[in-house]
Amino acid sequence: MEDAAKRMARLIDDLLYLSRAVRAPISKASVNLSALADESVARCRRDNLDSALTVSTQPDMRVRGDPRLIRLALDNLIGNAWKFSANAGTPRIDIGSETTGDGTRFFVRDNGVGFDMLYAGKRFEPFSRLHSAETYPGTGIGLVTVKRVIERHGGKVWVEAEVQRGACFYVTLQVDSPQEGGEHAD
């Protein structure tokens, strides 16, 4: 009964986060994505003191967006990468960006359990899970929240994965640089 109550409390919290992501007004500022990622990683390390996971964050990534909502999306992406790669032989997460012909895309890549790409579309549906809640706890709301946040910023989110070889979540956001001026949120 205690476990069921904890799961329900977590689900309520996650639904509240999703509601904020959908309804909260967006105030755009220059956001240091690298700093927010490092803060999220630090929170994961505090919650998982025995983890031997290696994390690499590309420095000086900046976007234009709502810092609170961007933090919420990053927390979910990094938290998932942490959870699903923790049992890899040499667990690793890479957070960075790359420029393609279509512009800049940001990514959170892990070397964890991954999944079959036949189920990629389901990753962004509410309550959709590919792994058991006993093995990988969660509510099935985190990636829905990520999608809503990114879409509210005019961006896209998608995933590429392979079973037992990890997953890479990509997002597009408006790139910003410190010299463009305006309001900054680090």
> Mean pLDDT over residues 11-34, rounded?
75
pLDDT > 90 in the chain, percent: 44
| pTM of the complete model | 0.79
Judge whether residue 35 has pLDDT over 50. Answer: yes
Confidence category of residue 30, pLDDT binned at 50, 70, 90: very high
Judge whether residue 42 has pLDDT over 80. Answer: yes
Q: What is the pLDDT of residue 166?
A: 93
At which residue do the structure tokens 């079959």 appear? 116
**Separation CA 21–CA 31 (nearest Å):** 17
Q: What is the pLDDT of residue 102?
A: 83
Give the helix ranges, DSSP H, for the chain.
2-23, 33-47, 67-85, 142-152
Per-domain residue ranges of the chain: 2-185
Task: Tell me the CATH number of domain 2-185, given options 3.20.20.80, 3.40.50.720, 3.30.565.10, 3.40.50.360.
Answer: 3.30.565.10
CA-closest candidate to residue 21, choices 64, 74, 60, 58? 74
Give the lowest-confidence range in 16-20, 54-58, 98-102, 148-152.
16-20
Q: What is the pLDDT of residue 181?
A: 47
Q: What is the pLDDT of residue 9?
A: 62
